[in-house]
């Protein structure tokens, strides 16, 4: 009996990962609809955020300590927010997503709480703050920067609160009562300090370069180094692939700026050298 259920869960897990990869490639809108080779549980499962879409910041949740909060509490001036939809009882895809987020963010010099906020929202109304706290403890152990704990938030909420936020991001899921599992896609969003969708990425692992540039983009240039801002001229976000890619025009612009800067520096150096030579000539003439 137990073995049979484990096999069913494993089979469904494979389907969910396949579905996530399908949506990660932004296939046409009819994918997810009824078809001869798609399980009913995957019907209408989707994650298609709309750039510049507004997330409802007045939505009520409970944090990992059980305290009542509003989503907007995690949106501060100049700080972007990384938001992901998971459910804490998920035995497969959500755990991979959480680990992927932690591993990718660990590669960055930016710190949660100081430079940005991380918010996980459970879309299972049965999840509890105790389950959320356990997930946060695991994330902190893996992230290895205990001082950033105040920047990580694991939320639970009512069916209405969940629907308000997931619908604003076009995140749709189905529940499989037989196996007690949710069918859902996998990805993250980067939001502006005002709660608007700036960037999104699909899958369970995220390139450090894309995350870093995405956070700088979402902060509207308020975080990051001058090098980060220069790289944004070279790399452009493509919503169709949900990735940053190098652009020839951007690279040419940066090279042109570097060339102009180099020429200006040479002019300054030569002028300074001419001035020093002129002063030396004057001093020699005075001595004669």
**pLDDT above 90: residue 227:** no
Q: Tell me what percent of the residues of the chain surpass a pLDDT of 90.
A: 59
CA distance 105 to 112: 9
| CATH number for the domain whose boundaries are 2-220 | 3.40.30.10
This model's pTM is above 0.85: no
166 is written with which tokens?
């997931």
Angle at 26 between CA 22 and CA 28, to 5 degrees: 95
CA distance 45 to 58: 26
222 secondary structure, DSSP code: S
Residue among 10, 9, 48 nearest 27 (CA): 48
Alpha helix segments (H runs only) across the chain: 2-24, 93-106, 129-143, 159-168, 208-218, 226-234, 248-287
CA distance 24 to 46: 10
Average pLDDT over residues 245-268: 63
Q: Residue 22 — very low, low, confident or very high, per pLDDT cuts 50/70/90?
A: very low
CA distance 67 to 271: 65
- Per the CB < 8 A criterion, the answer to whether 232 and 246 are in contact is no
CA distance 187 to 205: 9
What is the number of alpha carbons within 13 Å of residue 31 lying toward its C-beta? 15
**pLDDT above 50: residue 218:** yes
Average pLDDT over residues 208-227: 91
Q: Token pair 């494979």 is at which residue?
A: 14
Between 7 and 244, whose confidence is greater? 244
Q: Residue 3 — very low, low, confident or very high, per pLDDT cuts 50/70/90?
A: very low
**pLDDT above 90: residue 274:** no
**pLDDT above 70: residue 14:** no
Average pLDDT over residues 173-177: 94
């Amino acid at each position: 009996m137990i073995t049979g259920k484990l096999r069913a869960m494993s089979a469904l897990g494979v389907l969910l990962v396949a579905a996530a990869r399908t949506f990660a490639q932004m296939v046409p809108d009819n994918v997810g609809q009824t078809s001869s080779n798609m399980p009913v549980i995957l019907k209408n499962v989707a994650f298609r955020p709309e750039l510049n879409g507004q997330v409802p910041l007045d939505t009520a949740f409970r944090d990992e300590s059980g305290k009542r909060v509003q989503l907007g509490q995690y949106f501060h001036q100049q700080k972007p927010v990384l938001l992901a939809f998971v459910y804490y009882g998920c035995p497969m895809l959500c755990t991979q997503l959480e680990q992927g987020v932690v591993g990718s963010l660990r590669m960055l010099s930016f710190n949660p709480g100081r430079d940005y906020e991380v918010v996980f929202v459970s879309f299972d109304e049965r999840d509890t703050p105790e389950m959320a706290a356990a997930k946060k403890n695991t994330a902190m152990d893996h992230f290895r920067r205990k001082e950033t704990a105040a920047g990580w938030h694991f939320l639970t909420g009512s069916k209405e609160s969940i629907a308000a936020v997931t619908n604003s991001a076009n995140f749709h899921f189905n529940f499989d009562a037989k196996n007690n599992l949710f069918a859902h896609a996998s990805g993250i969003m980067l939001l502006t300090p005002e709660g608007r969708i700036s960037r999104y990425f699909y899958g369970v692992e995220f390139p450090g370069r894309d995350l870093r540039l995405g956070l700088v983009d979402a902060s509207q240039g308020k975080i990051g180094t001058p090098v980060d801002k220069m790289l944004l001229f070279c790399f452009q976000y493509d919503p169709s692939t949900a990735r940053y890619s190098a652009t020839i025009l951007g690279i040419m612009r940066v090279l042109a700026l570097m060339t102009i800067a180099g020429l200006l520096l040479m002019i300054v150096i030569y002028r300074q050298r001419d001035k020093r030579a002129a002063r030396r000539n004057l001093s020699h003439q005075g001595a004669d």
